[in-house]
Structure 1
Amino acid sequence: MKKALILSLLGFTMLTACSPKEQKTVETPKSEGYPITIQNFSKAEGAESWQKKDQTFDKAPERVLANTQPAAELLLHLGLKDKIVGVGAVFGEPDKSVEKEFNELNHLSTDYIGKEVALSVDPDLVYGRGGLFDNQDWGVGTVDTLNDMGIKTFVLNSSVTNGTFDSIYDDIDNLGKVFNVTNKADEFKSELKERQATLDKKLTKIKDDQTFAYLHTTDPAELYVYPAHNETFFNDIFKMVKLDNVFKEEKGEVSVEKLIETDPDVLIVADWQTMKGGISGEKMIDSVLKNKKLSSMKAVKNKQIYAVDYNYMFGYGYQSLEGIEKLADQMYPEK
Structure 2
Amino acid sequence: MPLTRPLNPARRRAAVGSTAAAALLLSGCGADVATDGKKSEKVTVKRCGEPVEYTTPKRTVAYEGGSADKLFSLGLTKHVHGYVMPPANPPVSESPWASEYAKVKKLSDDLLNKELVVDAKADFVVAGWNSGFSDQRGITPEILDKLKIQSFMHTESCYNYPKSPEKKPPFEALYTDLERLGKIFKAEEKAEKVVQGLREREKAVASKAPKGDPPPVFLYDSGTDQPFTAGNQVPPNDIIEKAGGRNVFSKLDERWAQVNWESVTKAEPEVVIILDYGDKPATKKIDFLKKSPQTRELPAVKKDNFFILDYNEGISGPRNIDGLERFGTYMRNLAH
Query: TM-score band (shorter)?
Result: 0.7 to 0.9
User: Residue 332 of structure 1 aligns to a residue in which SS?
Assistant: helix
Equivalent residue for 1:78, pick from 52, 64, 74: 74
Number of equivalenced pairs:
291
- Give 2:321's aligned residue: 321
Distance 1:286 1:310 in 2: 19
Matches within 5 A, 1:23-172: 32-41=39-48, 52-57=49-54, 59-89=55-85, 91-92=89-90, 94=92, 96-131=95-130, 132-137=132-137, 141-161=139-159, 162-163=167-168, 164-172=170-178
Distance 2:258 2:73 in 1: 38
Distance 1:323 1:32 in 2: 41
- Give 2:222's aligned residue: 217
Distance 1:30 1:156, change over 3 A: farther
- Give 1:260's aligned residue: 265
* Structure 2 segments unaligned to the other structure (5+ residues): 1-7, 14-35, 160-166
Distance 1:196 1:93, change over 3 A: farther
User: Residue 259 of structure 2 aligns to a residue in which SS?
Assistant: coil
User: Residue 108 of structure 2 aligns to a residue in which SS?
Assistant: coil
- Give 1:185's aligned residue: 191
- Give 2:4's aligned residue: none
Distance 1:62 1:253, change over 3 A: closer
Distance 2:154 2:262 in 1: 36
Shift of 1:123: 1.1
- Partner deviation per Cα, 1:143-184 (whole Å, 9 max, x = no partner): 111112212111121332233202222211111111111221
- Partner deviation per Cα, 1:232-285 (whole Å, 9 max, x = no partner): 44423321122322234458843223322332222222223xx25x42x34533
TM-score by length of 2: 0.76
Distance 1:30 1:144, change over 3 A: farther
User: Residue 51 of structure 2 aligns to a residue in which SS?
Assistant: strand
Equivalent residue for 1:174, pick from 171, 180, 196: 180
Pairwise CA RMSD of aligned residues? Answer: 2.8
Shift of 1:310: 2.0
Amino acid across the alignment from 1:53: E
Distance 1:30 1:292, change over 3 A: farther
Distance 1:31 1:192 in 2: 35
Bigger shift: residues 254-263 or 143-152: 254-263
- Partner deviation per Cα, 1:194-225 (whole Å, 9 max, x = no partner): 2112212222x42322222222227xxx3542
Distance 1:208 1:31 in 2: 58
Distance 2:157 2:37 in 1: 31
Distance 1:31 1:62 in 2: 22
- Give 1:26's aligned residue: none
Alpha carbons 2:155, 2:176 under 8 Å: kept: yes
Distance 1:31 1:172, change over 3 A: farther
Alpha carbons 2:58, 2:123 under 8 Å: kept: yes
Amino acid across the alignment from 1:297: L
Alpha carbons 1:158, 1:168 under 8 Å: kept: yes
Distance 1:30 1:99 in 2: 42
Distance 2:63 2:150 in 1: 14
* Structure 1 segments unaligned to the other structure (5+ residues): 7-28, 42-51
Distance 1:303 1:39, change over 3 A: same
Distance 1:295 1:96, change over 3 A: closer
Amino acid across the alignment from 2:295: L
Alpha carbons 1:40, 1:155 under 8 Å: kept: yes
TM-score by length of 1: 0.76
Shift of 1:93: 6.5
- Partner deviation per Cα, 1:44-65 (whole Å, 9 max, x = no partner): xxxxxxxx211112x3111111
Alpha carbons 1:294, 1:300 under 8 Å: kept: yes
- Give 2:290's aligned residue: 289
Alpha carbons 1:75, 1:81 under 8 Å: kept: yes
Distance 1:193 1:229, change over 3 A: closer
Distance 2:290 2:135 in 1: 40
Equivalent residue for 2:9, pick from 2, 18, 23: 2
Matches within 5 A, 1:197-212: 197-203=203-209, 205-212=210-217
Distance 2:65 2:154 in 1: 13
Which of 1 and 2 has greater Rg? 1
Percent identical pairs in the alignment equals: 23
Distance 1:329 1:284, change over 3 A: farther
Alpha carbons 1:39, 1:54 under 8 Å: kept: yes
